[in-house]
């Protein structure tokens, strides 16, 4: 009974008579999953003299104490039995160490499907074999238990002695076909060459190194194997044992790594070129070359979409005739590979170009292209071109090919972006991004060229420096988007006022320059500019009016270089703005002296706070009905160490422009709080003191916290503080203003709007903000008794305020007639020279101590 027949027996096979096992060669026993002995043949029973080898014995227990095997053999054999029982290995064999003058070959095979875990253990005596026969026996035993292909070759006949099933599977043939083929046929070689190889193996002994061999199989697939050979000298002669292991997967992986590394090197080199080379034509050629080399294909092309979007134009090619570059890639309307890539913005694979779009591309047809792959060259608004590769044979393109080709295309796109960006940067370096006008750098360059030209021809050059009046108010009130729109519209109007040879540029913010390089009447141009800017601007659906202040300098009278002329024009522009705006002035030398004085004043202001040169005057407010002092307004004064008292109009604007007003404003608040605490300590009656908040102060974050801190530190009373703000400050950021005013109001501070009616705002803020009072601007009070319009405005403000339950304070009251008007229309408070000028601190303290009030005749009683 053969082993194969024994392994196929049903479950009842375990109980078969000993005679069925006796038919098996060698010493044989059956071992259950738990290691116990199930059955054994006669040879086994006669030879084994150990308890485990009899019925009831346990194989694993015996192996644990290395009985009756060597310790190393026992552990390996036990592991082999378990591996076969668990199905890890189909079979196992082990040549045991010599013991008692005998060497055994142990073989383990599963009993059968019906006896899961039960294995057949057989021992064959190989003591009589010499080394070659013994090794050959081991190879024969292992042939069907390994996945490697094993060939046994008789050197004398150069024929196969035996091959295993793995060899047949590897060669994709039957056993009989492989045996008939012989070693020479299997290796596709000659018997003489095979003989030389085998003789070299015999001569090398154990030093034979493995070799790799490959052959093409069906569908163009290549098989890679690693061959190990060993020569065995047996009783019958030399036997060559060849073990072939399929390394196709490993080899393909290695080749893939090498190919990927090569592709990465190509991409890296191309990437370096893309970052440094400015020429697009050169970059297109490098992209086509990298695509061809990276995929090992005959043809590659880069085609680009022309600006008009019609078709594709060949820009670079590999393999195609050079005369095609610059020509359309295909006939219009045909869905060729490149046209399909462009339409879908995705990779396209074509395996049969002649059948895909017959006659679509004469270039591909002329070169006998069969298959191809194309990918898009990405752009910000869709593909800007196609990178394609082609072959005369049918190639199987996959994801890896697409990834590489797309990487090259992406790198090319980056290079194209760089070239475009460099062009844009060149433009940005010379032109203003908002208006499109030349920027300061280009204006200075053109002015310098105009001066050199004028010097040769002995004529004049006019330089105009222009600033939009009240632009900041529009920008803060209507928002930056409207401010930008105003600048764009103004730029177009300025360009329309000059000749093509003249230069209009934006210097920054709302400042513009005009260079008239040929003799012209600068005054006429200035008037034309002012008239153009006087027309209403449509901003966010509303009509907005601005004007301009213009300064003009002339070459060569006012300077001989570009910087000097522009500086003189700037000085003249500032003088025009100080004279009331909406005008133009030519530069005069004394203007520069005034500008220098202003710079000096700014420099001296920066140290005035540290030198304690600031002080406060207080102008009383009067309750019109009672004549009592109802409060004060704190007014900043500067006691200059040399000039004496400097008028506020000369330095307040500088504090605002430089930002010094923030620190000075904090000093004012601290000084007022300290003075209120001193009056309270002296037992004087307290009256609220109003402080003017600047726009810069109001925009500072944490204003309410700052107020709380200063009041607490100086011992002030928030109920005695009042902050005066302008309409434009409130409307610059209404949401932020509402939050800040809400926090201040919750703290107990009074809030009023100064110069009411003079700003650009909506009356909706009056109900949105927690206000206490409105102040009628002095400009309305000046002619309130003589100008019906001013009287109507003042009366409207009083009625509006009272309807909203707000107090009304009239500023600039200087005459009894003005006072009588206010009293007759129920105005709450007044402030002005009619009652008192701003008072120094000592006079103000005296007025409080005396309880000074407006006399009955002043009050209109």
Parallel, antiparallel or unpaired: strands 644-646 and 689-692: unpaired
* pLDDT tens per residue across span 471-498: 888 887 788 899 999 999 999 999 999 9
749 and 707 in contact (C-beta within 8 Å)? yes
Query: How far apart, in whole angstroms, are the C-alpha atoms of residue 531 and residue 525?
Result: 10
pLDDT score recorded for residue 7? 38
The percentage of the chain sitting over the pLDDT mark of 90, rounded to a whole number, equals 33
> Can you tell me which residue has the tokens 């040169």?
613
Q: Judge residue 518's burial from the number of C-beta atoms within 10 Å of its C-beta, 0-12 exposed, 13-18 middle, 19 or more buried.
A: middle
Name the pLDDT band for 606 (thresholds 50, 70, 90).
confident
* pLDDT tens per residue across span 134-181: 566 666 665 766 778 888 898 888 898 888 888 888 888 888 888 888
- Supply the DSSP string of 442-490, one letter for each residue: HHHHHHHHHHHHHHHHT--EEEEEEEEETHHHHHHHH-HHHHHHHHHHH
Helix (H, G, I), strand (E, B) or coil at 624: coil
Residue 127 CA: distances (Å) to CA of 98, 124, 579: 8, 9, 126
Lowest mean pLDDT of 102-116, 454-468, 827-841, name the range. Answer: 102-116
Helix (H, G, I), strand (E, B) or coil at 854: coil
365 and 389 in contact (C-beta within 8 Å)? no
- Please say if the pLDDT value at position 210 is more than 50: yes
- Please say if the pLDDT value at position 859 is more than 60: no
Query: How far apart, in whole angstroms, are the C-alpha atoms of residue 795 and residue 788?
Result: 10
Closest CA to 137 of 160, 184, 104: 104
In the chain, the largest separation of any two C-alpha atoms, in whole Å, equals: 151
DSSP for residue 25: S
Residue 669 CA: distances (Å) to CA of 471, 636, 657, 711, 747: 30, 11, 20, 8, 15
pLDDT score recorded for residue 13? 43
Parallel, antiparallel or unpaired: strands 27-31 and 119-125: antiparallel
Lowest mean pLDDT of 45-49, 113-117, 260-264, 293-297, name the range. Answer: 113-117
Stated as kind and residue range, the H or E segment containing 811 is strand 807-811
Name the pLDDT band for 6 (thresholds 50, 70, 90).
very low
pLDDT score recorded for residue 594? 65
Query: How far apart, in whole angstroms, are the C-alpha atoms of residue 214 and residue 6?
Result: 40
- Please say if the pLDDT value at position 17 is more than 60: no
Q: Which residues contact 292 (CB under 8 A, 6 or more apart)?
A: 298, 299, 300, 318, 319, 389
Closest CA to 224 of 234, 214, 237: 214
Which two structure tokens, joined as six digits, stand for 340?
């399909």
Query: How far apart, in whole angstroms, are the C-alpha atoms of residue 702 and residue 723?
Result: 16
Q: Mean pLDDT throughout 704-733?
A: 89
Closest CA to 311 of 286, 338, 290: 338
Helix (H, G, I), strand (E, B) or coil at 813: coil
712 and 669 in contact (C-beta within 8 Å)? no
- Supply the DSSP string of 316-370, one letter for each residue: EEESS-GGGTTSBSS-TT---HHHHHHHHTS-EEES-HHHHSTTS-HHHHHTT--
Query: How far apart, in whole angstroms, are the C-alpha atoms of residue 812 and residue 834?
Result: 8
Which two structure tokens, joined as six digits, stand for 289?
């070359």
6 and 15 in contact (C-beta within 8 Å)? no
Average predicted confidence (pLDDT) for the chain: 84
CA 789 to chain centre: 60
Which two structure tokens, joined as six digits, stand for 111?
């009993």
226 and 210 in contact (C-beta within 8 Å)? yes
DSSP for residue 114: T
Count how many residues are written for the chain.
Answer: 861
Q: Which residues contact 369 (CB under 8 A, 6 or more apart)?
A: 299, 353, 390, 391, 392
Parallel, antiparallel or unpaired: strands 542-544 and 750-756: unpaired
Which two structure tokens, joined as six digits, stand for 319?
């393999």
> Can you tell me which residue has the tokens 């080898």?
53
pLDDT score recorded for residue 112? 66
Extended beta strands in 199-309, E state = 211-216, 222-234, 237-246, 299-304
DSSP for residue 685: P
Which two structure tokens, joined as six digits, stand for 802?
């009272």
- List, in sequence order, every residue forming a beta bridge with 224; answer none if it has no partner: 214
pLDDT score recorded for residue 145? 66
Name the pLDDT band for 563 (thresholds 50, 70, 90).
very high
pLDDT score recorded for residue 133? 60
DSSP for residue 829: E
Query: How far apart, in whole angstroms, are the C-alpha atoms of residue 147 and residue 110?
Result: 18
CA 734 to chain centre: 34
- Is the pTM higher than 0.85? The answer reads no
Residue 265 CA: distances (Å) to CA of 57, 292, 404, 410: 67, 14, 11, 15
Which two structure tokens, joined as six digits, stand for 361?
């591309």
- List, in sequence order, every residue forming a beta bridge with 388; answer none if it has no partner: 301, 374
């Amino acid at each position: 009974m053969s082993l194969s027949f024994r392994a196929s027996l049903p479950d009842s096979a375990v109980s078969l008579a000993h005679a069925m096992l006796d038919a098996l060669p060698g010493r044989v026993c059956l071992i259950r999953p738990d290691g116990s002995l199930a059955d054994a043949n006669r040879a086994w029973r006669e030879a084994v003299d150990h308890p485990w080898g009899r019925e009831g014995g346990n194989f694993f227990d015996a192996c644990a104490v290395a009985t009756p095997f060597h310790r190393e053999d026992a552990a390996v054999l036990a592991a082999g039995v378990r591996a076969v029982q668990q199905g890890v290995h189909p079979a196992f064999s082990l040549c045991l160490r010599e013991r008692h003058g005998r060497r055994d070959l142990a073989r383990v095979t599963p009993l059968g499907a019906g006896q899961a875990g039960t294995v057949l253990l057989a021992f064959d005596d190989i003591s009589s074999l010499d080394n070659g026969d013994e090794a050959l026996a081991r190879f024969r035993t292992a042939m069907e238990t390994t996945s490697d292909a094993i060939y046994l070759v008789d050197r004398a006949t150069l024929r196969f002695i035996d091959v295993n099933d793995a060899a047949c599977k590897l060669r994709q043939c039957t056993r009989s076909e492989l045996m008939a083929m012989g070693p020479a046929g299997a290796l596709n070689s000659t018997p003489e060459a095979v003989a030389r190889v085998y003789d070299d193996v015999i001569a090398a002994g154990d030093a034979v190194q493995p070799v790799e061999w490959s052959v093409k199989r069906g569908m163009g697939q290549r098989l890679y194997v690693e061959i190990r050979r060993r020569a065995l000298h047996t009783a019958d002669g030399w036997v060559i044992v060849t073990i072939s292991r399929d390394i196709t997967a490993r080899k393909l992986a290695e080749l893939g790594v090498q190919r990927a590394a090569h592709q990465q090197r190509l991409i890296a080199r191309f990437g370096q070129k893309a970052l440094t080379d400015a020429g697009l034509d050169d970059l297109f050629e490098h992209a086509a070359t990298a695509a061809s080399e990276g995929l090992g294909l005959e043809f590659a092309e880069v085609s680009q979409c022309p600006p008009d979007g019609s078709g594709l134009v060949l820009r670079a090619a590999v393999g195609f005739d050079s005369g095609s570059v610059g020509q359309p890639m295909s006939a219009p309307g045909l869905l060729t590979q490149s046209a399909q890539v462009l339409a879908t913005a995705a990779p396209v694979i074509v395996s049969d170009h002649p059948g895909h779009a017959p006659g679509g591309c004469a270039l591909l047809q002329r070169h006998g292209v069969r298959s191809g792959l194309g990918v898009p060259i990405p752009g910000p608004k869709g593909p800007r071109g196609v990178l394609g590769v082609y072959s005369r044979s049918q190639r199987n393109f996959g994801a890896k090919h697409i990834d590489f080709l797309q990487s090259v295309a992406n790198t090319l796109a980056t290079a194209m972006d760089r070239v475009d960006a460099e062009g844009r940067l060149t433009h940005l370096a010379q032109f203003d991004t908002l208006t499109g006008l030349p920027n300061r750098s280009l204006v200075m360059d053109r002015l310098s060229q105009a001066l050199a030209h004028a010097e040769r021809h002995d004529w004049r050059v006019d330089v105009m420096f222009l600033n939009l009046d009240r632009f900041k108010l529009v920008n803060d009130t209507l928002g930056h988007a409207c401010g930008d729109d105003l600048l764009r519209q103004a730029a177009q109007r300025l360009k329309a006022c000059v000749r093509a040879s003249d230069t209009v540029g934006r210097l920054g913010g709302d400042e513009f320059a005009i260079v008239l390089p040929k003799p012209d009447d600068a005054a006429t141009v200035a008037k034309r500019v002012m008239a153009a800017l006087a027309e209403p601007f449509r901003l966010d659906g509303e009509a907005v009016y601005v004007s301009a202040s213009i300064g003009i300098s002339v070459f060569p009278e006012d300077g001989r270089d570009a910087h000097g002329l522009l500086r003189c024009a700037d000085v003249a522009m500032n003088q025009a703005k100080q004279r009331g705006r909406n005008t133009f002035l030519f530069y005069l030398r004394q203007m520069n002296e005034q500008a220098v004085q202003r710079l000096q004043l700014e420099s001296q202001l920066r140290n005035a706070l540290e030198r304690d040169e600031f002080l406060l005057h207080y102008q009383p407010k009067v309750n019109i009905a009672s004549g009592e002092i109802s409060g004060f307004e704190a007014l900043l004064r500067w006691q200059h160490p040399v000039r004496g008292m400097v008028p506020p109009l000369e330095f307040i604007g500088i504090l605002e422009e430089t930002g010094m007003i923030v620190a000075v404003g904090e000093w004012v608040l601290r000084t007022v709080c300290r003075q209120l605490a001193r009056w309270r300590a002296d037992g004087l009656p307290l009256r609220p003191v109003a402080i003017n908040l600047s726009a810069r102060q109001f925009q500072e974050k944490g204003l309410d916290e700052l107020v709380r801190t200063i009041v607490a530190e100086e011992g002030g009373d928030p109920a005695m503080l009042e902050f005066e703000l302008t309409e434009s400050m409130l409307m610059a950021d209404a949401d932020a203003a509402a939050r800040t005013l809400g926090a201040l109001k919750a703290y107990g501070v009074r809030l009023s709007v100064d110069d009411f009616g003079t700003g650009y705002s909506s009356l909706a803020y009056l109900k949105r903000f927690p206000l206490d009072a409105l102040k009628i601007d002095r400009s309305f009070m000046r002619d309130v008794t003589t100008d019906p319009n001013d009287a109507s405005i003042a009366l409207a403000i009083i009625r509006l305020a009272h309807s909203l339950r707000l107090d009304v304070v009239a500023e600039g009251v200087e005459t009894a007639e003005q006072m009588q008007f206010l009293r007759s229309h129920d105005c709450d408070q007044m402030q002005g020279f009619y009652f008192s000028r701003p008072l120094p601190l000592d006079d103000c303290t005296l007025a409080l101590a005396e309880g000074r009030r407006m006399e009955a005749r002043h009050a209109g009683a």
